[in-house]
Amino acid sequence: MAFKTDIEIAREAKKLPIQQVGAKLGIGAEDLVPYGHDKAKVSAEFIASKQGNKDGKLILVTAINPTPAGEGKTTTTVGLGDGLNAIGKKAAICIREASLGPSFGLKGGAAGGGDAQVVPMEDMNLHFTGDFHAITSAHNLLSAMIDNHIYWGNSLGIDNRRVAWRRVMDMNDRALREIVSGIGGKENGVPRQTGFEIAVASEVMAILALAGDLKDLRTRLGRIIVGYTYDGQPVTAEQLRCAGSMAVLMRHAIKPTLVQTSEGSGVLLHAGPFGNIAHGNSSIVADRLALKLAEYVVTESGFGADLGMEKFFNIKCRVSGLIPHAVGIVATVRAIKMHSGRYKIVAGKPLPEAMAREDLDALRAGSGNLAKHIENVAQYGIPAVVAINRFPTDSENELAELTELALKAGATKVVVNEAWAKGGEGAEAFAQAIVEACDKPSRFRFLYDPSAPIKDKIHAICTKMYGAKGVRYSASAEASIARLAGRGFGALPVCMAKTHLSLSHDPKLLGRPEGFTVPVEDVKVSAGAGFLYALCGTMKTMPGLGSDPAGAHIDLDADGHVVGLF
């Protein structure tokens, strides 16, 4: 039996006019700025007018460490929102915008799948309302202003060797990781070594996700450190007189965009920092607004609970003051079997046929990964509900075994989720379990005290969240930590930049690795966003394309419709 593709299902969805979607959440037509018929920005005036409303309950969806098999975290997030509405609750969904890099690379789009999708799917994955272009333009304007300042005499005394601000683009392109700019003669500027990062790793993106409003955004942009003087003093975007222009480019991007699921549930899409090389969560603006409009708000964090969830709690929750009520952990039978390490998996290639057969031994061997993530949620005092996304190849014995393993690890409840095939109806059991979990008393606590020494915070994350035995610092990292503490940045929370494919820093260490030491190669500051970030191992902030990228399969059909997008 041939299944319809995600894009075919999305195209068949009966979309409501965006004004009707807004009306369900209490947003008037006059408070929406339409971008066509099926998406609209929510006005800043409306957002400000709802600040006195009582908050709903906040639910975070996270997952095990992702595998090439795909776990369906966004599908589950969307399905949960639809499921909550299906059982009579008023729910809204907040998720990140999609980057063009993964859409044309290996991961694909970020709109969900099957009957649990955000629509319009093509627009969401391709440019959308232009927020990412605004981020890229604002970021690169600052890059241009730095080089221009140096060219015209460098009155701030910026050390050309210590410019920390690189350029960005929203595409995977390994050839631009390291470049030399300013060559070709004096009229082309001052030569220096620099490079590109992907736009979702930009500090401007992090600022958008963490800013409370346009005024806060403007202030944070001014705090960005672009480099250092010859005597080691930081130079900011404010000193370069660029922050105002950056804010002008970002003035519409600060507004979240309202879209809908294929079942008409309201979705606020806003910001999109990666979960491995950035903090991996949608915006505070969207979360705060949704909580004023709905009884339950479902949001998701990037990659596994060791990354996006940890950063959601220790960075985003500290800034926003929001307290989560429950966590949903997404897992699949085949992904858990993959974490056993007994199958050879090649990203972008079909899964081994043997994975489709019942294998309880492999399931047990890989279940440590799920168990650790359940334990990680418990460290924050929040109930964890496990959603097993069902695939046609899952046997009843495997589903029963994984359910038992998750309950033994401490899950509040385990449900089999069928949102991909049945939409909100298939997620009703998950929705009911989440409602019950949200009714439990909140005992939320942070993992560490931000005033603790930098190394203590890194050690807490690595040992408590990853299960490492310790941390090893390079000479460069040691010097950076001492320098950052001396400049007054020691009390900031820490964003760990590591692989998403393992609890450890090594993508080859599947399941629940033990006895490893996390290498920290450097520690830097995002002063505007308000956190430190530690680079673990050989983490790249500009991904590359694979041997057979998704972009090679995306095209237009005879009617001008997008095909091949997934």
CA distances from 365 to 156, 221, 407, 510 (A): 58, 47, 16, 10
Q: Is 244 helix (H, G, I), strand (E, B) or coil?
A: helix
Q: Say if 185 falls within a structural domain.
A: yes
The mean per-residue pLDDT over the stretch 499-524 comes to 96
In a domain, 169, yes or no: yes
Pair 81, 13 in one domain: yes
Full domain range(s) for residue 215: 131-249
Model pLDDT for residues 237-280, shown as the tens digit of each residue: 999 999 999 999 999 999 999 999 999 999 999 999 988 888 99
Residues 355 and 429 in one domain: yes
Angstrom distance (rounded) from CA 280 to CA 462: 18
Please compute the mean of the pLDDT values over residues 196-200 and round it to a whole number: 93
Q: Tally the domains of the chain.
A: 3
Does one domain contain both 181 and 315?
no
Asked if the structure places residue 368 within a domain, the reply is yes
> Shortest CA distance to 450 belongs to which of 499, 505, 495, 497?
495
CB atoms within 10 A of CB 539: 17
**Residue 186 contacts by C-beta under 8 Å, 6 or more apart in sequence?**
none
Q: What's the whole-number mean pLDDT along residues 319-335?
A: 96
Whether residue 380 is found in the same domain as residue 272: yes
Q: Are residues 41 and 153 in the same domain?
A: no
Which residues have C-beta within 8 Å of that of residue 321, sequence separation ≥ 6?
Answer: none
Residues 242 and 259 in one domain: no
Judge whether residue 141 has pLDDT over 60: yes
- Average pLDDT over the chain reads 93
The pLDDT score that the predictor gives to residue 449 is: 96
3-state secondary structure 175-190: HHCCEEECCCCHHHCC
pLDDT number for residue 4: 79
The answer to whether position 548 is within a domain reads no
Q: Note whether 387 and 281 are same-domain residues.
A: yes
Scanning the structure block, which residue is given the tokens 């359910």?
Answer: 403
CB 176 within 8 A of CB 170: no
Of the pLDDT bands very low, low, confident and very high (cuts 50, 70, 90), residue 426 is very high
Statement to judge: residues 222 and 260 lie in one domain:
no
Asked whether residue 260 falls in the same domain as residue 152, the answer is no
Among 18-27, 435-444, 489-498, 542-551, which is the least confidently predicted range? Answer: 542-551
Do 215 and 336 have their domain in common?
no
Predicted confidence band at 206 (pLDDT cuts at 50, 70, 90)?
very high
User: What's the confidence (pLDDT) of residue 108?
Assistant: 64
Q: Is residue 499 part of a domain?
A: yes
Residue 544 lies in a domain: no
Rounded to an integer, the average pLDDT of 2-10 is 76
Q: How many CB atoms lie within 10 A of CB 73?
A: 28
Q: Per-residue pLDDT averaged across 356-371, rounded?
A: 95
Of 188, 219, 249, which closes a domain?
249
φ, ψ of residue 257 to 5 degrees: the values are -105, 130
Strand, helix or coil at 89?
A: coil
pLDDT at position 562 is 87
Residues 395 and 266 in one domain: yes
| pLDDT range class, residue 1, cuts 50, 70, 90 | very low
Check which CATH number belongs to the domain holding 489 and give it.
3.10.410.10
Within a domain: residue 170? Answer: yes
The strand pairing partners of 384, in sequence order, are 327
Rounded average pLDDT over 160-169 = 95
Query: 215 pLDDT exceeds 60?
Result: yes
Residues 245, 259, single domain; the answer is no
CATH of the domain at 189: 3.30.1510.10
Model pLDDT for residues 50-87, shown as the tens digit of each residue: 999 999 999 999 999 998 877 899 999 999 999 999 99
* Percentage of the chain exceeding pLDDT 70: 99
